[in-house]
Structure formats: C-alpha cells, structure tokens
A = this chain, B = another copy of it.
Amino acid sequence: MADSAVKRVAILSPGLIGGSIGLGLAARTPGLRLTCWARRAESSAAAVALGAAHQVASTPEQAVQGADAVYVCCPVGAVGDLLDRIAPHVGPECVVLDVAGVKAPVPDWSRRLVQGAFVGSHPMAGSERSGIEFARADLYQGATWVFTPLEGDAPWAVSRAVGLAEALGARPLICTVEEHDRWAAALSHLPHLLAYALAQVAQDRVPSAGAHMAGGSYRDGSRVAASSPAAWTEILMANRREAADACTAASVWLAEAAAALTQGDGAALAALLDAAHTGRLEVGPC
C-alpha cells in the first residue's frame, strides 16, 4: 500500500494512463493531493473536471514542486526532455516514475535526475483508445504493473513506487530492463504487429459486403489495429531490436505454415499448430 509519507502526487501529461492513475488514487487514497500538468490546457481542465486531479499546474516545473511522487506519462520519445525540465525542481525524497512501454531508456532517464530517485515502470493496462476521456478509476485493478529497478536504486523509492501501484489494485512484477523489453516484444509489441497485419490482409481480400463474415477471431485478432499508428510506431521503434526479432520469428512461423498448406503437408501443419497450442503460456482471463 502507499506509504504514509506520500501526501502529494504530480501527474504529467495525463491521458488514459495518467488519468486512470489520478482517478484511482483519488478514489482509493483519501487525503492525497493530486496535481496535474498537460501540454494542452484542455487536458488539464478535463483531468480536474473528471476528478483525476485536484489542481492544475501551469508548468511541469511547478507541478513537481513539493511532490512525493511524480508520474511522467508522456509518449516515450518525450520523457527525456520532460525529465530535464523537472530535474532541478524534484525534491530529494521524491520518486519519479515513467509509464512507458519500453524500458531500455531507463538508465539514461535515471541519470537525468539530480535529486530524488527515478524508477522505471510499465502498467500492463490500457486499451486501443487513448485520451483522458477514457480514463477509469479501476483500470489497474488486477493488472500487472512492471518495475525495472536498476542496481543501486534507493530501496525507499522502489518501495514507494510499488506501494502506489498496489494502492491502485495492481500486482507488481519486478524484472530487469532487458527482460521487460524482450517479454514486452513478445506479449505486447508482436500482438499489435499481428493485428495490423491481419487488418491489412483482410482489407486487401474482403469487400465491405463480406465483412459481416467476420467472427470473434477476426474481431479479437484485429482489435488493437484500432490503436494509433503514430503512437505504436514510436513504441515499436523504441524497442526495435526486440520487436524486430519477435516479428521475424512470427513471419518465419507463418511462412512455414504457408509452405505446409501449399504442399498439402497436413502432418507438418498439425505439428506447428500442436506445438504452439500445447506450450502456450498460462496467462489467465483478461
């Protein structure tokens, strides 16, 4: 649970992720003071109107002053610059977290702070929608929240970061930066690439009249192709070595399946499906 030293939390760039952090903390930890800052004034106003923050700061520097915890929720490519801006204003006992889907930059981000402590984190929740209007107080209930502490990170900072996630109902998972990025490539980045691939192949082959033939497998398989291509280009490029590796492996698997089909080799196809089916990871219900 959140430690009692946490009185003030700042949320920078609240969208679906940051807005849901604000809504969840407001609902679950009474007494906490939530300040937000967003590049667009309408977003800050929406955060307060929705109850995801109590007050608006006009600059990120102002937002983090006196904060005990800061969530940096901007896109991955903007985290470094935002950290540079707030670094001189972060107090010595403040923990700063990112929520980006790629953790390779964490050592660099960590070095940018001059006081306080940075902890890399990635809440495994969200949806194909973005924007604070989709934020939900229960978005993290039962979700996994990954933390990638570096050797030498202050134990109090990691503990505080984990405690806040637990206060939001999330289950913490601690791993290394490298593990996170390899696992995320297989479990999040590849499913998105496969969804975009499915959306492309289907639109090339099926006229709109035939779209009514789509059943649950197409809907589920293509769901996240509704995600923002710009946002996903950025996420994938930030983890491009691992994402390319997983993507190539899927491409090769599919080429093997296509070859078995073309050659009429049912035994080879069955062996591919059977191995994939039998060894699939146990992940429980959504």
What residues of B have a CB within 8 angstroms of the CB of A179 in the complex? 210
What separation, in Å, do the CA atoms of A201 and B251 have in the docked complex? 10
Tell me whether B200 and A186 are in contact (CB under 8 A). no
Q: Interface code A209-227, partner B: CB below 8 Å = 1, 0 otherwise?
A: 1111111111111111111
Name the residue of chain B whose CB is nearest to the CB of A123.
B215
Task: Give every chain B residue within 8 A of A144 (Cβ-Cβ).
Answer: 212-215
- Work out how many copies of this chain go into the complex: 2
> A220 — which chain B residues lie within 8 A by C-beta?
191, 220-221, 223-224, 286
| Distance between Cα atoms of A208 and B284 in the complex (Å) | 12
- A contacts with B, residue count (CB < 8 A): 100
Query: Is A192 part of the contact surface with B, judged by Cβ < 8 Å?
Result: yes
Are B254 and A258 touching (Cβ within 8 A)? no
Q: Is the CB of B251 within 8 A of A281?
A: no
Given A127-B216, A218-B187, A211:B277 Cβ within 8 A? no
Q: Is A183 an interface residue (CB 8 A)?
A: yes
Q: Which of A1-9, A153-161, A239-247 has 4 or more CB atoms under 8 Å from chain B?
A: A239-247
**Are A257 and B190 within 8 A (Cβ)?**
no
Residue of B nearest to A231 (CB): B273
Interface of A with B (CB < 8 Å)? 124-127, 143-144, 146, 171, 173, 175, 179-180, 182-188, 190-206, 208-230, 232-234, 236-237, 240-241, 243-244, 246-255, 257-258, 261-262, 264, 266, 269-270, 272-283, 285-286
> 9 nearest interchain CB pairs?
A229-B273, A244-B261, A191-B221, A251-B254, A191-B217, A200-B276, A199-B280, A196-B276, A247-B258
